[in-house]
């Protein structure tokens, strides 16, 4: 019979990261591998809760009580708690920054490790009721050589991150990760409970045909953005216009951009002077992945990964995607006066 022969050489995320570690030779101690395993477990746990949420209406607002009369946690609060507990328990972290927590967590000595993790536990959660893909975004720094782990260890340019990734919760759970030598995508095989390598060496096309902006903000856009969008929507013949795709969930919009190419943008504008997206745990990880996949990530005038954060929740403008598309955008910033 044409029984499907099982793949007997499954490359799980753990095995793939371990092979990365072995490639690094003796400098790697396995701590990053163990940290990534902890992050993997949190993604599996969150994926389960996201799936359940759609069934048992777990997405209710905080403060409501469920049938057991328990205080119901919003899914993003639950996801935050899952990540904080697992990252602390891993014994590999020193500083944690979460979109859900006003202050950074400095891990106590008994559990302190040498990595700092900045994360948005459930980005785009306002979309979950509509069944839109949402995700976890994370970035990892190693503590500075002379530091035992303080806030200064995460107020560093994204270029100093040693790893970054996201997990997108959709029809399947996709974990996309870079540890500094390219980008790989893994899909959760729920029956195994393992993330399996399905998208080795993700490389973003040098040019795409898709632009991804919330044009509902167009009346507030600064002239360079308006001029750029005009150039791709009303191109001179024989060029044809780009297609618009905007999901409103960063993980989903960036995932599509990495795979299909094009440009994703959340500009700063007259209404939001620094834009909306957070530098540390949205812009930095996505910029790190974009560059590792061969693309560009800029504020319009500056490489995102070169920004030095001054506070853990600051925002920044984001344009990222295919090299040629983002370079076109940057040209408009050079040539168009800011205020028209």
Give the residues lining the site for ligand P6P (CB under 6 A): 123-124, 126, 214, 248-250, 253, 266, 276
Give the shortest CB-246-to-ligand P6P separation in angstroms: 7
**Residue among 34 and 252 whose Cβ is closer to ligand P6P:** 252
Residue 106, classed as helix, strand or coil, is strand
Tokens of 226: 């308006």
Q: Report the alpha-carbon distance of residue 218 to residue 143 in Å, rounded.
A: 41
Strand ranges of the sheet holding 161-169, from the earlier edge strand across to the other edge: 105-106, 93-98, 112-123, 134-142, 161-169, 173-178, 184-189, 194-199
Give the shortest CB-189-to-ligand P6P separation in angstroms: 26
Give the shortest CB-266-to-ligand P6P separation in angstroms: 6
Asked if 229 contacts 213 with a C-beta cutoff of 8 angstroms, the reply is yes
**Residue among 88 and 315 whose Cβ is closer to ligand P6P:** 315
Residue 21, classed as helix, strand or coil, is helix
**Residue among 88 and 276 whose Cβ is closer to ligand P6P:** 276
Q: What share of the chain is helix, strand, coil (3-state, %, to 5)?
A: 40, 25, 40
Give the shortest CB-313-to-ligand P6P separation in angstroms: 12
Asked if 306 contacts 284 with a C-beta cutoff of 8 angstroms, the reply is no
- In the chain, where does DSSP find H-type helix? 13-24, 31-56, 75-89, 223-233, 250-260, 284-292, 323-335
- 210 has which bridge partners? 243
**Residue among 142 and 256 whose Cβ is closer to ligand P6P:** 256
Asked if 206 contacts 324 with a C-beta cutoff of 8 angstroms, the reply is yes
Give the shortest CB-316-to-ligand P6P separation in angstroms: 13
Question: Which of these, 320, 323, 200, lies nearest to 254 by C-alpha position?
Answer: 320
Q: Report the alpha-carbon distance of residue 131 to residue 123 in Å, rounded.
A: 14
Cα pseudo-dihedral 28, 30, 36, 40, rounded to 10: 150
**Residue among 143 and 304 whose Cβ is closer to ligand P6P:** 304
**Residue among 183 and 250 whose Cβ is closer to ligand P6P:** 250
- 227 has which bridge partners? none
Give the shortest CB-48-to-ligand P6P separation in angstroms: 21
**Residue among 149 and 317 whose Cβ is closer to ligand P6P:** 317
**Residue among 33 and 98 whose Cβ is closer to ligand P6P:** 98
Give the shortest CB-322-to-ligand P6P separation in angstroms: 18
**Residue among 124 and 224 whose Cβ is closer to ligand P6P:** 124
Give the shortest CB-33-to-ligand P6P separation in angstroms: 29
Question: Which of these, 97, 103, 71, lies nearest to 84 by C-alpha position?
Answer: 97
Give the shortest CB-124-to-ligand P6P separation in angstroms: 4
């Amino acid at each position: 019979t044409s029984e499907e022969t099982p793949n007997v050489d499954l490359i799980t995320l753990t095995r793939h990261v371990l092979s990365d570690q072995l490639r690094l030779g003796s400098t790697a101690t396995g701590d990053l591998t163990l940290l990534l395993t902890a992050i993997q477990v949190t993604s599996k746990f969150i994926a389960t809760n996201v799936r359940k949420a759609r069934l048992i209406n777990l997405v209710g607002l905080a403060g409501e009580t469920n049938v057991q009369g328990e205080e119901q946690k919003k899914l993003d609060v639950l996801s935050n708690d899952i990540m904080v507990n697992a990252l602390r328990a891993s014994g590999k972290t020193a500083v944690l920054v979460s979109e859900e927590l006003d202050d950074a967590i400095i891990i106590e000595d008994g559990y302190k490790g040498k990595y700092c993790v900045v994360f948005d536990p459930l980005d785009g959660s306002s979309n979950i009721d509509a069944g839109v893909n949402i995700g976890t975004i994370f970035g990892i720094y190693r503590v500075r050589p002379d530091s035992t782990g303080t806030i200064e260890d995460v107020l560093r340019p994204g270029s100093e991150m040693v790893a970054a990734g996201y997990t997108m919760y959709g029809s399947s759970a996709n974990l996309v990760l870079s540890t500094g030598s390219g980008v790989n995508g893994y899909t959760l095989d729920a029956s195994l409970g393992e993330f399996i390598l399905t998208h080795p060496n993700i490389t973003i096309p040098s040019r795409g045909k898709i632009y991804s902006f919330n044009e509902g903000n167009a009346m507030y856009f600064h002239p360079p953005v308006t001029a750029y969008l005009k150039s791709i929507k009303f191109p001179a013949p024989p060029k044809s216009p780009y297609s618009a795709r905007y999901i409103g969930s960063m993980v989903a919009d960036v995932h599509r951009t990495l795979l299909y190419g094009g440009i994703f943008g959340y500009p700063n504008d007259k209404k939001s002077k620094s834009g909306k997206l957070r530098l540390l745990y949205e812009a930095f990880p996505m910029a790190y992945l974009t560059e590792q996949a061969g693309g560009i990530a800029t504020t319009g005038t500056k490489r995102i990964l070169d920004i030095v954060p001054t506070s853990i929740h600051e925002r920044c403008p984001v344009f990222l995607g295919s090299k040629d598309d983002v370079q076109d955008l940057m040209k408009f910033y050079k040539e168009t006066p800011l205020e028209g």
